Amino acid sequence: MAGGTGINGPHWRRVLATLGNADARIAYAQIVLGAAAKDVLPELKEQRRVRALAALTESGLVQQHASGGLVAVDSIFRDLLAQQPRRQPRTGLDRFMRLGRIERYPANVAERRALLAKIANEIIEPGETLTERQINERLLSYTDDVVLLRRYLVDFGLLQRTPTGSSYSLVE
């Protein structure tokens, strides 16, 4: 992976890391705006200037012509986007989740119950008893509204709550 580019072009992490550096970002802006190579970062010490320019060329953001001039690569961002995998149509319960979190609850009661059962079985083991705080912490990875999700799990008969409401367990 020489020069920060792979077989399919530049790597997004390298590009973002380069743009995260203030010197490189300023140099990139100057190059995009048409500054001559000698006019890029003139106020910096030569070592910092060379390092910023090297990061830009290694990441694929900038190319150096044989004449020594620098030019911003027009296709860099299009190439990075083209590397992203195409979204597969989501099916089954996955269509209600995004990045492992609930994006929306199914309107269909059977699908909602199936989604909730899946979550219940992922957050608590059979025979395990958890406090409300522990349940909330585990549910937080699925939604920010843990109260609603916890209530659904109880209302759908997937979790049982002690009469005092101090602990929860799977319905067996």
Q: What is the rounded average pLDDT of the residues 123-130?
A: 93
Q: What is the pLDDT of residues 15-55, one digit of tens each?
A: 999 999 999 999 999 999 999 989 999 999 999 999 999 99
Confidence label for 12 from pLDDT (cuts 50, 70 and 90): confident
In this structure, what token pair is assigned to residue 21? 């550096």
| pLDDT, mean over the chain | 89
Q: What is the pLDDT of residues 68-100, one digit of tens each?
A: 899 999 999 988 888 776 666 678 898 999 888
Q: Could you tell me the CA-to-CA distances from 153 to 9, 34, 108, 117, 136 in Å, in that order?
A: 47, 60, 16, 8, 12
**pTM, two decimal places:** 0.51
R_g of the chain computed on alpha carbons: 26
Confidence label for 7 from pLDDT (cuts 50, 70 and 90): very low
* Other Cβ atoms within 10 Å of 101 Cβ, number: 12
Share of the chain above pLDDT 70, in %: 92
